[in-house]
Structure 1
Amino acid sequence: MSLAPRLDLRQSQSLVMTPQLQQAIRLLALSNLEVETFIAEEIERNPLLESTPQEDDGPVVEREAPVAASDEPASADSLVMGEGGGEAALDVDFAAESFHHDSAADQAGMDGSLGMNGGSGGMPEDGPDLDAFADTSLSLADHLLHQAGEVLSGRDLFVAQHLIDLIDEAGYLTTPLLDVANRLGAPLVEVEDVLGVIQTFDPTGVGARDLAECLALQAKEADRYDPCMARLIDNLDLVARGDLARLKRLCDVDDEDLADMIRELRNYDPKPGGRFGGEAMQAVTPDLFIAQRKSGWAIEINAATLPRLLVNRSYYVELSYGPQDKASKAWLSDMLASANWLVKALDQRQRTIIKVASEIVKQQEAFFLHGVAHLKPMTLRQVADAIEMHESTVSRVTSNKYLSCARGLFELKYFFTSSIQSSDGGDAVSAEAVKSAIRALITAEDPKAILSDDTLVDMLNAKGFGIARRTVAKYREALGIGSSVQRRRQKALEGVG
């Protein structure tokens, strides 16, 4: 065996992901709003990029579904090299066959409502509701601190500020007062006195340490906290169980008085701090619009959330003819290549999203026509095989993206559900369709004949759903619906109230 150094030539294959390809993959997983942020960052970095609002002659991508599969999307590397359609493909005028709705008002008058709630999307006759835009940013803590500053001062105000910081968004103080007193080095009686003052603040019931104290504070405010009501509040566990006979004995009241007390209890707010904002709710912006037309389903990217990105070639020519060294020339070439790639990659992203969405609409057409009961079981692999793409690509395309149709706003992931075998040997059904059937059966049940899980299994089997009892229980709990025992107690309490 020779130990002398030598040179060997070997041939091998390996898959290398270029930075452009990695970025193209990341772009697929981003929502339109996230892409908009990414574009803004690229415009700041690259002087050759500029954005303009989408116009009628913009490269809007639209498909009628069902459609035939188009050519395989070009890779990021081929886009950088100018292959896969070239720049000419980006300048095609789709205006003759595209529809635009950059705002909710633009959706009115179309065939098929595209509103988030299934409405026409137009403004009401009296104009927009300006109250909906009112500032709701005042937090519960700010509201309480303002009241504390008006009635307390000095040491008491300091203790109050600390207690208010410990009150959660629902309005409850969950930290033991002894811990607060030890932390502040203050007498326990002083902390209790300050908490008593806070419990007189608006909203009534704030600063309570449990539900019973919260309801008691509201009953005192309403001047309904008599001994009978006090005993009722002290036995909320019996109220939850619907043990009306025992409650009547404990409270020493008749049926009419107990019904009146329970009705009063229902009028109280168990979460008094809930009316104040924590974080403001963010409205979901659809990435796709879907509308039914005579020739099929029209699918369009929401252009309102995607600015049109352009390469400023005149500025490039101006810079290239100016005095520059070798490093500057290389930098300018890199900026041009990066700008060209990004424009083409974004266009390819839109086409890929449309291609996946078209297949989803094709396979779930019954849902868009008739509702959730007709939702079919579907997997990522089914869509990937149909459009000849990788399963991971479909997964990225359907992440964090929403479509708006006549039935409302849905995440693309919503349409991928597990299957339940039909009891009569027919086609499998979607788990969402089974959940919808369970909800409908329980909603329509007779208060005097609450449906058990076993009864639900029999009724679902009669409808053609082959489902086990444990699956019914799992779906019922996922829907937030209580057991038959819990529903029976709830119906009893509603009958008393």
Structure 2
Amino acid sequence: MAISTKLEMRQSQSLVMTPQLMQAIKLLQLSNLDLLAYVDAELERNPLLETVEPDGGGDAAGEKSDDFDPQAERDGADQPDAGDWMQSQLETGSEAIASRMDTDLGNVFPDEPGVPASPDPALLKAGDSYKNTGSSAAGEDYNLEAFVSEEETLFHSLEDQMNLAFAEPADKLIAGHLINSLDENGYLYSGLEEAADQLGVTRDRVEEVLMVLQTFEPAGVFARSLQECLKLQLVDKNRFDPAMEALVENIELLAKRDLSTLRRLCGVDDEDLADMIDEIKALDPKPGSVFGGTLVQPLVADVFVRKANDGTWSVELNSDTLPKVLVNQTYFATITKNAKNESEKEYLIDCMQTANWLVKSLDQRARTILKVSTEIVRQQDGFLTYGIEHLRPMNLKTIAEAVEMHESTISRVTSNKYMATPRGIYELKYFFSSAISATEGADAHSAESVRYRIKQMIDAEDPSAILSDDTIVKVLKDDGIDIARRTVAKYRESMKIGSSVQRRREKKALR
């Protein structure tokens, strides 16, 4: 066969990830807080986007390009499917739009402007009101609300105490070095020899400074181990007697629930040992964590599930978590007429295309979440009706096949999304659990429901008849659950439940 050069025409399919599709996928996996931050950034960047007022009305000049109506979805309105829309984006992504879109998805959130600096007191005259030096030309009043009280940190608190406790500059230098060596929990893990070599002083002097630092508030800081941290707090409470010292030195026996050995080492009876253990539990193993703690955001459900009048489950989106944006078509038409050159027109067209895409993407994101959540509720009807023991084993493939989407899409939809049910608020991923095979060919059991049954059995066990892992396996097999002993041990350890030996010691000590 002769080798020659020739032209051939072939037809094939390929996946083209346009910038629009890439950001649509990114929006799909964002939580409600991250989504609101992203939309706020887009509102600042795009002059054609505007928010809807809380009463539901937007600007009269604006037109809604594709708003989401949960009721229309429940009524079976003829709406494009999320999978079909993404497929159409793959097929119809034009080069003109792709060229105008910014393909760098890293800098989605612009840096926030800094707080304006305080005015120079020397520039203020007596009787004058505070003015912002940066906006003095505009004549705006100085905004006191721009300044908030700085949150006190562990290091600031210790530095204030250090300035009062030490007079010698050398001691302050050593104390400052040790303060900077603390971790966020208030522990000192750096060696004293290393600190002495770095500062050019003797180890004895570093230890003297450390002994003073260990009397600072909060009690327990500058400890080099858990035992020393507990000791410092007990000394501060004047409760570090010989019996308590023996308990602290053998704290690992308390973790193992070896109370009989502890009772012998401490030389106390059962009642005194129980009181000592209660005192240990009341101490803080991380004294430095009381400073600078991050605010805990409450969980906000993305989906509400309620019992309908006909006995079925009603699934609807939480409209409060959905950003409501509109595209101002009238403003676009007005400023396009006044564009001076092609560059301005191209910028306006780019803003219009980006705005239309964002509104459509938010709409499709909401539809996809509702569609997947509805299928999860349908699959887990037994859990909602009867409880966790009736949680069905389910994986991503089960939902993906039911809603005709890819498993990766289901994984993104269920990430950082929460569902409010009559039984509490659960992350969507909670409903996905592996299957435990059943005996005699019955339906498989959810791993989560089996874990719950194990916990119920252990909580209800008789102190005089502690259940071993083998006994739990036998009881579960009698109930039709085929499970191995190592699986029971794994589930028990994941729930922070001790072995039968540890539980026997603990419940014996409490009797």
Give the counterpart of 1:184 among 183, 193, 199. Answer: 199
Deviations 1:239-264 (A, max 9, x none): 44455555455445555655554454
| Alignment correspondent of 1:75 | 85
Distance in 1, Cα, partners of 2:357 & 2:276: 70
| Alignment correspondent of 2:422 | 406
Structure 1 residue 148 corresponds to structure 2 residue 162: yes
| Alignment correspondent of 1:387 | 403
Distance in 2, Cα, partners of 1:260 & 1:412: 43
Any unmatched runs of 5+ in structure 2? 58-66, 94-148
The one-letter code sitting in structure 2 at the alignment partner of 1:31 is S
Distance in 2, Cα, partners of 1:473 & 1:77: 46
Q: How many residues align?
A: 443
| Alignment correspondent of 2:504 | 488
SS of the equivalent of 1:75 reads helix
The one-letter code sitting in structure 1 at the alignment partner of 2:447 is A
| Alignment correspondent of 2:183 | 168
CA contact (8 A) 1:53 1:307 kept: no
Structure 1 residue 218 corresponds to structure 2 residue 233: yes
Structure 1 residue 348 corresponds to structure 2 residue 364: yes
Which residues of 2 match residues 45-124 of structure 1 at below 5 A? 45-53=45-53, 55-56=55-56, 59-62=68-71, 72-73=81-82, 74-76=84-86, 78=88
The one-letter code sitting in structure 2 at the alignment partner of 1:184 is L
| Alignment correspondent of 2:306 | 291
CA contact (8 A) 1:290 1:300 kept: yes
CA contact (8 A) 1:52 1:309 kept: yes
CA contact (8 A) 1:373 1:433 kept: yes
The one-letter code sitting in structure 2 at the alignment partner of 1:351 is R
Distance in 2, Cα, partners of 1:476 & 1:365: 27
Which residues of 2 match residues 65-464 of structure 1 at below 5 A? 72-73=81-82, 74-76=84-86, 78=88, 137-153=151-167, 154-243=169-258, 246-247=261-262, 249-253=264-268, 258=273, 260-295=275-310, 296-464=312-480
- Of 258-267 and 6-15, deviating more is 258-267
Structure 1 residue 465 corresponds to structure 2 residue 481: yes
The one-letter code sitting in structure 2 at the alignment partner of 1:29 is Q
Using the size of structure 1 for normalisation, the TM-score is 0.79
CA contact (8 A) 1:136 1:276 kept: no
SS of the equivalent of 1:300 reads strand
Higher relative contact order (CA 8 A, sep 6+): 1
- Of 269-278 and 209-218, deviating more is 269-278
SS of the equivalent of 1:50 reads strand
CA contact (8 A) 1:169 1:274 kept: yes
Structure 1 residue 34 corresponds to structure 2 residue 34: yes
Distance in 1, Cα, partners of 2:343 & 2:259: 86
Distance in 1, Cα, partners of 2:423 & 2:75: 19
Change (3 A) 1:489 1:195: farther
Any unmatched runs of 5+ in structure 1? 84-134
Change (3 A) 1:471 1:317: same
Distance in 2, Cα, partners of 1:310 & 1:80: 25
* Deviation for aligned residue 1:375: 0.8
Distance in 2, Cα, partners of 1:309 & 1:403: 24
Distance in 2, Cα, partners of 1:468 & 1:17: 46
* Deviation for aligned residue 1:7: 6.7
* Deviation for aligned residue 1:79: 6.7
CA contact (8 A) 2:18 2:90 kept: no
* Deviation for aligned residue 1:184: 2.7
The one-letter code sitting in structure 2 at the alignment partner of 1:327 is S
Distance in 2, Cα, partners of 1:80 & 1:315: 30
| Alignment correspondent of 2:491 | 475
CA contact (8 A) 2:258 2:502 kept: no
| Alignment correspondent of 1:120 | none
CA contact (8 A) 1:79 1:345 kept: no
Change (3 A) 1:466 1:138: farther
| Alignment correspondent of 2:127 | none
Distance in 1, Cα, partners of 2:183 & 2:481: 44
Distance in 2, Cα, partners of 1:174 & 1:292: 55
Distance in 1, Cα, partners of 2:150 & 2:453: 38
Distance in 2, Cα, partners of 1:465 & 1:385: 27
The one-letter code sitting in structure 2 at the alignment partner of 1:141 is F
